[in-house]
Every structure is written in structure tokens, then in C-alpha cells.
Amino acid sequence: MINDNYERQNVKNQKCTIAILVPVLLLVSVSSLFAQDHSSSPAEKTYSLLPGLDTQLIDKAADPCVDFFQYACGNFGKLYPIPSDRSGLGIGSIIYEYTENVLRVMLEKAAASAANRTPNEQKIGDFYASCMDAAAIDKKGLTPFQEDLDLIAALKTKDDLPSLLAHFQLINVNAFLGFGEQQDFKDARKQIAVADQGGLGLPERDFYFRQGEVAEKTRVQYVQHILNTLKLLGESDALAAADAKKIMALETALAKVSLDVTSRREPSNVYHMMPVSELQALTPNFSWSRFLADAGTPPVGELNVTVPDFFKGLNALLAATDLETIKTYLRWQLVNSTDGTVLPKAFDDEQFDFNRHKLAGQPEQRARWKRCVDATDGAIGEALGQVYVAQEFPPSSKQATLQMVHDIEAAMDQDLNTLDWMSPETKARARVKLHAVADKIGYPDHWRDYSRLTIVRGDAFGNAQRAAEFESRRQLNKIGKPVDRGEWGMSPSTVDAYYNSSMNDINFPAGILQAPLYDPNATDAENYGHIGAVVGHELTHGFDDEGRKFDGNGNLQDWWTSGDATKFEEKTDCEVKEYGNFVVTDDVKINGKLTLGENTADNGGLRLAYIAFLADARRKNIDLNANQGGFNAIQQFFLGFGQDWCGETRPEQLRLQAETDEHSARKFRVNGVVQNMLEFGQAFGCKAGQPMMPVNACRVW
């Protein structure tokens, strides 16, 4: 993915890591464009789509050769200050806000209960209307939870845990572990079961161990957050304080045996096929036959146990933890895993205070309608997507994007010839993979069937839970079946894009194919700089440090010569060191290893877009030196790219992103790339040695 706070909450954790999806796992190298920032702007503020090149954003007092991000985007914060209910605002956020308003109109119309609604219109309309009825949700209080709370209370022994956790997995409660399906890394034709680490409430395992004043303060705030939630569940002050400490100790023990986010980027670290009997031997205190039966999976003989040491540790932890502590932890996990839109206001406010205010610096909660738009899209995204595409995505946009994709794929084919560090043997195999890439534009060829999903007006909690279970069972039912290569991992209205290593496909939902990223009124130079760089980014992911380990069929297979692999690692090490020196806020630097895949994709993607644009200009006889609005075509291209990332981010969000996200901060997604392209320095008349034209630049692709 390419994320800029283009924040779809239903994106299924499609990141460059091997990602866990709860309760059903999409355990595959899936790389998206944007970093996640689940926030939005005030209800009273309406944004319009910006042009392909917005000269108002340019800070002409800045020197493009010293700080190109400041030059291309320096006025953004003055024109578009961060709203009080966001932790950041950028170009992508504006597209997201615009799309959210479009979806709101659609949902309000669908919610009007007209007799002639289609089945999908009934579902999206009633889901949205139920979510919007905050008074009804508040009036019900914890009544909708009572059945699950009773299941927890009814636990007599730890032997009953597998059945309860199977149910929890189906409704997106990630207590103790994660379970689901994935494509087999070694045979991408197959869907297999997968068991993964899970059960943490903080964003990532290192939050439990990281040293320093900020990290320690976060842990104190987290324990208080647990305490506050337990009190809302009815515990006394003293009991809640004691239980919160026990939960923190339990989660810290889980974190100790969990794999960190950077290590999970290596596919071999999270792929360990074994018979169910071998997993059972790892966890004798947990009955997997009972868990699988109660989860309702197809027959499972073997599965991927992503982190065997985690399950060894989990077994010991379950044995050492008393049943009452386990029950308290399960109550906490149940509430903590539930979306705030279906919770009583006190619980919703408590979730926001820790997760968005304290962790990300967001001053105020988002307007309810925005959160309900996101919740509807997250629950039944293709039902909403059918309506969205029919209204908002003309065939001309699909054709124009597809042509650009083909141009950029041709650019990579051409660029392979220029790589003096790669042998002919590896180049030939790279071309085989390149030519096998599937291009998905706009929306799926076959829409998802929601006919068996029941949505009841006035039952917000039940709708959310039934939708979660519907999706969980849909995915679990794929186990043992051939892979559907036409399936999408994002809804059509999503403002993002991604590459999937096991599918070997690049995916561009309709939502991202809007101005300024794709503007039919912009110059070719601007569009190639904008959406062309996005296309190049996703294509390059197939050949980054993760993607290169999968072949054209999507199988985890080493198709490199050993010498070429060594040279590749030398090239990427340059980027690791380069980005590792960028300071994002205070004393926090970018994690060059965690962000390597995204940084490689940013750099390679812009270069491919540049090559494709030059070929396009030759075909159309475009005069690259002609001045248009004060800039020639090459300068327009780079400004289009720079303005992809215009925006501002609160310090707390910058810190959180640096510690958890595979994407670099927006400033360095611009400067870190252009300083590696000699063509940029030449276009803006930079001198060797200036910050944007260093003597020693990095290049992988």
C-alpha cells in the first residue's frame, strides 16, 4: 500500500508486513501505498478535489534543491490546517474526505427505506442507519454484550477455552491468538489454515518493552485505560486497578514470545507448515481439534504456524495463569476489540481517549456520520462499492489507468536492461515475473454475494457482529479450495492501492483514481508524476526486499543467483542507512529496515513513472522544455509527485508511525526519493552536494 493517512479502516491491514487479519488472517506479503491514520476532519468542513498541480501549495521562498517537500508543499498547512479531529491532514486525506461525503449521500438515500431498494441497498442503508442511532445504542447499554459476557462467566476450566476462542475469532476478538486462512507461500494455488500470534492491546509488541519517558508514560496510560474500561464493566475501583495490572502482565508475557513487526517482514520468519498434531504437541494445554470444530473450518490436516515459539510460550502462559485472570482478560479483549460506533458512549469515549487522543495526538473524536460511513464500508464494502462505482467511476478512468499501467510495466521491462549489477539469468526470471503481474483496476469482475448476511435496522451491535462472522466464515470456507485470483482485498471506494505477493497482482480501487492523483484535466506530466508514481510504487513492490522472494506464480521461491541476491542486499543497505538517518520528530528516527520495502517502492516507482512519461512524451511529441504555468514538463512531473505527499502530521502521530508503520513520514517520501534521482537535480538546476543532489545517491531499481 502507499498510505498517507488515506485512512480506510477496512483495508484489512494490507501492508508490506506479513499482516495479521483478525479473526481471519491474510498472511501474505501485501504492500499498500499509504500509512494508516484512522481519523477525519470536522463535520462542518467540506473539501473539494484539488487540481493535478496546485500552485497555491508551492512555497516559492523555499529552495527546491535544499528541501523539495517544503517547496512543493510548503503552503499546504496554511491553506489546510489539521482539523481538531485528525492527527494529520494531507492530499490523500482530502480525497478521502471528499469520497466520504459522496458515500454519505449514497448511504442516506439507501437508508430512506424506499420500497424499491435492492437487497444491497437495504443492507447498506439499514447498517448505516443503525450505526447512526447513537441514542438507541446508548439505551441498550451492555445488553448486546451479555451473551458473550455470559459465555466468559460460564468458563469452568481452561479446557473450555478453545470453544470460546473459536467463537471470539469469528467475531473479530483477537484474544490470545489469531486464526484464519492464507495462500500457501510455497504453493499459491492453495488456500490453507494459519495460526498466528495475537492477543495484544498495544499497537505492537515493542510497546511493552521500549525504554524512555514517552514509552513508559504510554504503558502507564494503557493500564489506566484498561482500568477505566473494567470500571465501566462494573468492577470496583480497587478490583479494576488490580485486574488492570494482571492484564498488563499477561499481555507483556504474550509480547515476550511474539515476533516484532520488523522481523515479520521476512516471509520465512512467519511460514512454518506443520500437521495439526505437531501444533497440538506445541500446545498440550489447548485442544486444537475442539477449536477447529467450533470454528467451523473445512477439514484441516496441516497449517501454517507462523511463530512456533509464540505457541510454546502461550501454552506455558495458559498453564501459569489462573482462570479468573483469564476471564478478566477475555472481558477486556471483548470490549477492546469492538468498534466504538456500536458501544455505549462512555466506552466509545474511553477508546478514543487512549487510542486516538493519547497515542496519536488527535484532540477530538470524528463526526459520527463519518465513522458510520467507514463502519459500513468495512463491514459490507463491496455492497456499498457497487453503488459507488456505478455513480463515480466512468469507463474512461479505467481505460486511462490501464494504459498507464501498461506503460509503466513496459518501462520496468526496459529499465532492467540498464541494471549493470544484475546478471542476464536473473533479469530473464525478473521479466517472467513482470509479465505475469495481473492488473486490477477499479473494482472486481464479480461482486461478493451478501444474500446470506442479515442486517436488521435498529440492531447496530448485532449487524456488526453478524457482518464480522459472515466475512470470517467466507474466508475460512476457502481453506482447501483453489485460490480465487479475481478476489480483491480492498473495497472499490478505498483511497489506497496495494500489491499482493502471493497473487502477484497490483490493485487500484476506484477511490484512488481521482484528482489530483488522476485528473483528466491535468497534463500528462502531472498525471504521470501523481498516479504514475503510485502505479510504479505498487509494481516495484513485486521486486522489493520481500516481493523479490516470490516468483511470478506467487510462490515463495528463490529465483535469484546468489551473487545477484548479495548485490541486491548491498543496494538496499544504502536505503536502510539513508532513511535511518531521517529524524521525524524529537529524537525519533525512521526505522530503515521496517520501511525498506516502502522506500524501495517509492524510489523505484518514481523512476519507472519517469521512464514511462518520457516514452509517452515521445509518442505525443510533447515539448519537454515548453513552459506551462511557470514550469516545464519535467518540473511538472516532479511537482506532481511531490504534491502526492503534501500535508502535516501531529508529533504524536509521527512517533506512532515511526514505531509501527512500514511507511516513512510524508516529508521523507518526497525528499528521500528525489535526492536519489539525478534527473530531479538537473530539472531544477541543483548543484552537486546540495541536499537534494548528494554526491552519493542510492538506487535499487
Q: Is the pLDDT of residue 460 over 60?
A: yes
Specify whether the CB–CB gap between 687 and 65 falls below 8 A: yes
As a whole number, mean pLDDT of residues 241-264 equals 98
As a whole number, mean pLDDT of residues 116-130 equals 96
Write down the pLDDT at residue 21: 28
Architecture per CATH, 397-442+496-701: 3-Layer(aba) Sandwich (3.40)
As a whole number, mean pLDDT of residues 617-642 equals 96
Q: Which helix (H) or strand (E) holds 191?
A: strand 191-197
As a whole number, mean pLDDT of residues 181-197 equals 98
Most confident listed range (39-53, 105-119, 201-215): 201-215
Specify whether the CB–CB gap between 216 and 230 falls below 8 A: no
d(CA 7, CA 625): 38
Write down the pLDDT at residue 45: 73
561-619: pLDDT as tens digits: 999 999 999 999 999 999 999 999 998 999 999 999 999 999 999 999 999 999 999 99
Q: How many CA within 13 A on the CB side of residue 656? A: 24
- Cα 588 to its chain centre, rounded Å, is 22
647-692: pLDDT as tens digits: 999 999 999 999 999 999 999 999 999 999 999 999 999 999 999 9
316-356: pLDDT as tens digits: 999 999 999 999 999 999 999 999 999 999 999 999 999 99
**What DSSP state is assigned to residue 259?**
P
Write down the pLDDT at residue 12: 30
Q: Is the pLDDT of residue 30 over 90?
A: no
- Any idea which fold 144-343 has? Neutral endopeptidase; domain 2 (1.10.1380)
Write down the pLDDT at residue 113: 76
Write down the pLDDT at residue 31: 76
Dihedrals phi, psi of 482, to nearest 5 degrees: -65, 150
Three cell numbers written together for 2:
502507499
374-415: pLDDT as tens digits: 999 999 999 999 999 999 999 998 999 999 999 999 999 999
Residue 168: strand, helix, or coil: helix
Average pLDDT, the chain: 94
Lowest mean pLDDT among 112-121, 463-472, 571-580: 112-121
Q: What angle do CA 71, 530, 617 make, to 5 degrees?
A: 105
Write down the pLDDT at residue 32: 75
| Confidence band, pLDDT 50/70/90 cuts, at residue 2 | low
Q: Is the pLDDT of residue 14 over 70?
A: no
- Cα 603 to its chain centre, rounded Å, is 20
> Model's pTM, two decimal places?
0.94
As a whole number, mean pLDDT of residues 184-205 equals 98
Dihedrals phi, psi of 660, to nearest 5 degrees: -130, -20
Q: Among candidates 331, 27, 316, which has minimal Cα distance to 151?
A: 331
Q: Among candidates 405, 427, 426, which has minimal Cα distance to 414?
A: 427
> What contacts 232, CB < 8 A, 6 or more positions away?
346, 347, 350
Write down the pLDDT at residue 238: 98
Q: What is the domain partition of the chain in residue ranges?
A: 144-343, 397-442+496-701
User: Cell numbers 495462500 label which residue?
Assistant: 183
Q: Is the pLDDT of residue 366 over 60?
A: yes
Q: Is the pLDDT of residue 72 over 50?
A: yes
As a whole number, mean pLDDT of residues 74-88 equals 96
d(CA 340, CA 544): 37
